[in-house]
Amino acid sequence: MSASRVVVVGGGVIGCMTAFYLTRAGVRDVVVVERDHVASGASGFSAGILTPYSGSNDAGLLGLSAASLALHAELAKELPEVTGIDHGYDLKPYLRCGFGEVGLDSARQFLADRRAEGLDGEWLSGEEAREVCDWLSAEVAGACMTSVEPTVDSRLLTRSALGAAEMVGTSVQVGEVVGLAGSGGTVTGVELSDGGVVEGDAVVIAMGPWSNMAGEWLGFDLPVHPQKGELLYMHLPESDAGGVEQDRPSATMHNMDEGGVILTRRLSRTVLGATKEDGVGYDREPSSYAWEFILPKVQRLADRISKADVTDHTACLRPMPADGKPYVGKAPSWENVFVAAGHWSEGVHYAPLTGKIVADLVTSGESDVDYSAIDVARLAV
Ligand SMILES: Cc1cc2nc3c(=O)[nH]c(=O)nc-3n(C[C@H](O)[C@H](O)[C@H](O)COP(=O)(O)OP(=O)(O)OC[C@H]3O[C@@H](n4cnc5c(N)ncnc54)[C@H](O)[C@@H]3O)c2cc1C
């Protein structure tokens, strides 16, 4: 099918990246309908790690993951040139550190798995790891180092993708979508809570953890549920005179014994993460649990964290899919509704590829990407 006007529901990284790729595919009238503000959900508060290590043995997912990473590398050059927004793309070493048997085994296993997938990595002794990053505590006994996991500021990436799309015909409409307009498996737009309708020849559902609500409109269960995640941002008081630069470690560090990450990012303070809480609904309040959960784990990685001030604390919701994989593609039994949901803890990473696949499907009915591993068609009853 071809569509001259496309309505994208949701102004997160998935919706905005879809708008971007739709404009690239030649659609000159895209309306992003967002009830809050762009990147107000997880897309504005993620850790922003782009990793080809999906943690899944699903061969289909691994291929998609690498393809999206390649698109990110292109966007890192293209988007800042077009929009003037630097979204902080950066590549620093990633150290998965072990203290005792559990963590060391897990880091070694991680390295073996990645090598089996044809990806690269290096084993370092504790001493060698401390040469890479002098933040690491003497207690770290060994680490797997990789150098292929960039970071971005996902809020700026979302803004920049939207900005590029806005230059060629995309607009944002503030409003809460409460249903689909149309009948017989064909939509003519979306209905808003104020009674209005936004008309379109095609509709894309990109509502993050709220996408399950669209299942009611579509007539099938779209099993995406919220998983709460919190991050802390830190600052070392004694480096104040030198500014943020001295607050930033030369590598990202991950505690493989207990979990917990110290994440270095180019455009923000150092990030400490992250919690993963299921079953707390749509609660987005930062909680003391995050301090209790995160701080001991990251302090073990780097003693200096005990001297740091926590300057910011965010909480948001990952869109968690029932079977662990995103739902992307044409909605079963619908002519012109498309789904881009359930990207869980990797939505920033997958956003460019998802945007491209959906844009391909909307404009030509097919995609040159083999997306069968994440095809929403698997939900067809
Ligand atoms: C702590 C944490 C760390 C993370 N770290 C990473 C990471 O390192 N790398 C990575 O790739 N991913 C990471 N993620 C996951 C990533 O943030 C998400 O997968 C991604 O942001 C999801 O994007 P989205 O556009 O699907 O959803 P969202 O960002 O939630 O956007 C959905 C939008 O839809 C809007 N909306 C919903 N319902 C309606 C409606 N009815 N009408 C109109 N608008 C509506 C919402 O207001 C919202 O703005 C992390 C997540 C968390 C919580």
Query: Is the shortest distance between the CB of 206 and ligand 1 below 6 Å?
Result: yes
Do 128 and 60 belong to one domain? no
Q: Within a domain: residue 238? A: yes
Cα 84 to middle of ligand 1, angstroms:
24
- The answer to whether residue 250 scores a pLDDT higher than 70 is yes
Do 314 and 354 belong to one domain? no
Cα 118 to middle of ligand 1, angstroms:
30
**Helices and strands per DSSP (H, E), number in the chain:** 8, 18
Do 316 and 331 belong to one domain? no
| pLDDT at site 146 | 94
Q: Which atom of ligand 1 is nearest to the CA of 346?
A: 11
| pLDDT at site 62 | 84
Q: For residue 184, how many other CB atoms are within 10 A of its CB? A: 7
Q: Within a domain: residue 1? A: no
| pLDDT at site 238 | 65
Cα 34 to middle of ligand 1, angstroms:
12
Gap between the Cα atoms of 115 and 61, Å rounded: 17
Mutate to test the pocket of ligand 1, among 16, 18, 35 (most ligand atoms within 8 A of CB): 35
- The answer to whether residue 244 scores a pLDDT higher than 70 is no
- The answer to whether residue 22 scores a pLDDT higher than 50 is yes
How confident is the prediction for the chain on average, in pLDDT?
Answer: 94
Residue range 28-46: mean pLDDT, rounded: 98
Gap between the Cα atoms of 148 and 128, Å rounded: 19
What is the three-class DSSP state of 256? coil
Query: Is the shortest distance between the CB of 117 and ligand 1 below 6 Å?
Result: no
Do 210 and 175 belong to one domain? yes
| pLDDT at site 51 | 85
- The answer to whether residue 187 scores a pLDDT higher than 90 is yes
Query: Is the shortest distance between the CB of 17 and ligand 1 below 6 Å?
Result: no
pLDDT in tens, 291-306: 999 999 999 999 999 9
| pLDDT at site 3 | 72
Total domains, the chain:
2
Nearest alpha carbon to residue 344 among 276, 265, 268, 249: 276
pLDDT in tens, 5-21: 999 999 999 999 999 99
Do 314 and 196 belong to one domain? no
Do 245 and 317 belong to one domain? yes
Nearest alpha carbon to residue 233 among 186, 277, 291: 291
Candidate from 40-44, 71-75, 171-175, 233-237 with smallest mean pLDDT: 233-237
1 band by pLDDT with thresholds 50, 70 and 90: low
Do 219 and 174 belong to one domain? yes
Nearest alpha carbon to residue 295 among 321, 258, 322: 258
CATH of the domain at 240: 3.30.9.10
Query: Is the shortest distance between the CB of 208 and ligand 1 below 6 Å?
Result: yes
Whole-model pTM: value is: 0.96
- Please give the residue range of the domain that contains residue 123: 94-146+226-321
Candidate from 30-39, 61-70, 254-263, 345-354 with smallest mean pLDDT: 61-70
| pLDDT at site 236 | 83
Mutate to test the pocket of ligand 1, among 37, 343, 350 (most ligand atoms within 8 A of CB): 343
Query: Is the shortest distance between the CB of 87 and ligand 1 below 6 Å?
Result: no
Do residues 145 and 120 touch, judged by C-beta distance below 8 A?
Answer: no
Do 329 and 313 belong to one domain? no
Query: Is the shortest distance between the CB of 297 and ligand 1 below 6 Å?
Result: no
- The answer to whether residue 241 scores a pLDDT higher than 60 is no
Query: Is the shortest distance between the CB of 13 and ligand 1 below 6 Å?
Result: yes
Gap between the Cα atoms of 234 and 229, Å rounded: 17
Residue range 23-42: mean pLDDT, rounded: 97
Bridge partner residues of 224 (DSSP): 321
Do 241 and 256 belong to one domain? yes
Do 317 and 327 belong to one domain? no
Do 133 and 16 belong to one domain? no
Percent of all residues in the chain with a pLDDT value above 90, rounded to a whole number: 86
Query: Is the shortest distance between the CB of 72 and ligand 1 below 6 Å?
Result: no
